Protein backbone atom coordinates (compact mmCIF):
# COMPACT_ATOMS: atom_id res chain seq x y z
CA UNK A 1 0.00 0.00 0.00
CA UNK A 2 1.46 3.33 -1.01
CA UNK A 3 0.91 6.43 1.05
CA UNK A 4 0.59 9.66 -0.83
CA UNK A 5 0.94 13.17 0.51
CA UNK A 6 -2.82 13.61 0.14
CA UNK A 7 -3.36 11.06 2.93
CA UNK A 8 -1.05 12.83 5.39
CA UNK A 9 -2.06 15.37 7.96
CA UNK A 10 0.21 18.15 9.15
CA UNK A 11 0.89 16.05 12.30
CA UNK A 12 2.23 13.22 10.11
CA UNK A 13 4.82 15.38 8.38
CA UNK A 14 8.01 15.86 10.40
CA UNK A 15 10.41 18.65 9.54
CA UNK A 16 14.04 19.16 10.38
CA UNK A 17 14.80 21.65 13.12
CA UNK A 18 18.14 23.02 14.25
CA UNK A 19 19.28 22.04 17.72
CA UNK A 20 19.84 25.17 19.82
CA UNK A 21 22.82 25.60 22.14
CA UNK A 22 21.68 24.85 25.69
CA UNK A 23 25.08 24.43 27.36
CA UNK A 24 25.31 26.71 30.38
CA UNK A 25 21.54 26.86 30.88
CA UNK A 26 19.69 25.44 33.87
CA UNK A 27 17.66 22.29 33.24
CA UNK A 28 14.46 24.34 33.34
CA UNK A 29 15.78 26.91 30.83
CA UNK A 30 17.16 24.18 28.58
CA UNK A 31 13.85 22.31 28.61
CA UNK A 32 11.91 25.42 27.62
CA UNK A 33 14.42 26.31 24.88
CA UNK A 34 14.21 22.81 23.41
CA UNK A 35 10.41 22.67 23.64
CA UNK A 36 10.21 26.03 21.86
CA UNK A 37 12.32 24.49 19.07
CA UNK A 38 10.03 21.44 18.87
CA UNK A 39 12.43 19.09 20.67
CA UNK A 40 12.46 17.06 23.89
CA UNK A 41 15.05 16.93 26.67
CA UNK A 42 16.44 13.72 28.14
CA UNK A 43 18.98 13.33 30.95
CA UNK A 44 21.98 11.14 30.07
CA UNK A 45 21.76 9.33 33.38
CA UNK A 46 18.56 7.62 34.42
CA UNK A 47 17.50 10.45 36.73
CA UNK A 48 13.91 11.26 37.62
CA UNK A 49 13.07 14.86 36.67
CA UNK A 50 11.93 15.59 40.23
CA UNK A 51 15.45 14.66 41.46
CA UNK A 52 17.21 17.26 39.28
CA UNK A 53 18.50 20.08 41.48
CA UNK A 54 17.24 23.61 40.78
CA UNK A 55 20.82 24.76 40.13
CA UNK A 56 21.64 21.95 37.64
CA UNK A 57 23.53 23.46 34.70
CA UNK A 58 23.77 21.68 31.33
CA UNK A 59 27.45 20.92 30.66
CA UNK A 60 27.06 18.78 27.53
CA UNK A 61 24.41 18.02 24.92
CA UNK A 62 23.98 15.39 22.20
CA UNK A 63 23.43 16.21 19.42
CA UNK A 64 25.43 19.40 19.53
CA UNK A 65 23.99 22.78 18.62
CA UNK A 66 23.54 23.53 14.94
CA UNK A 67 22.75 19.93 13.98
CA UNK A 68 19.51 19.33 12.06
CA UNK A 69 17.19 16.71 13.61
CA UNK A 70 13.59 15.70 13.11
CA UNK A 71 11.05 17.75 15.01
CA UNK A 72 10.07 15.93 18.21
CA UNK A 73 13.53 14.40 18.60
CA UNK A 74 15.44 14.13 21.87
CA UNK A 75 18.45 16.10 22.99
CA UNK A 76 20.42 14.26 25.68
CA UNK A 77 21.97 16.44 28.38
CA UNK A 78 24.35 16.01 31.26
40-68 per-position pLDDT tens digit: 999 988 788 888 998 999 999 999 999 99
The whole-model pTM stands at 0.81
Residue 38 · residue 45 · CB < 8 Å: no
* Among the four given CATH numbers 3.40.50.150, 1.20.1050.10, 3.30.10.20, 3.10.180.10, the one describing domain 14-77: 3.30.10.20
By percentage, how much of the chain surpasses pLDDT 70? 85
Higher pLDDT, 14 or 24: 24
Angstrom CA distances, 28 to 2, 41, 52, 74, 76, stand at: 42, 10, 10, 15, 14
Amino acid sequence: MEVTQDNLTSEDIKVNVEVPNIIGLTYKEAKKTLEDAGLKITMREDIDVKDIPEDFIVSNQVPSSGVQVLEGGNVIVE
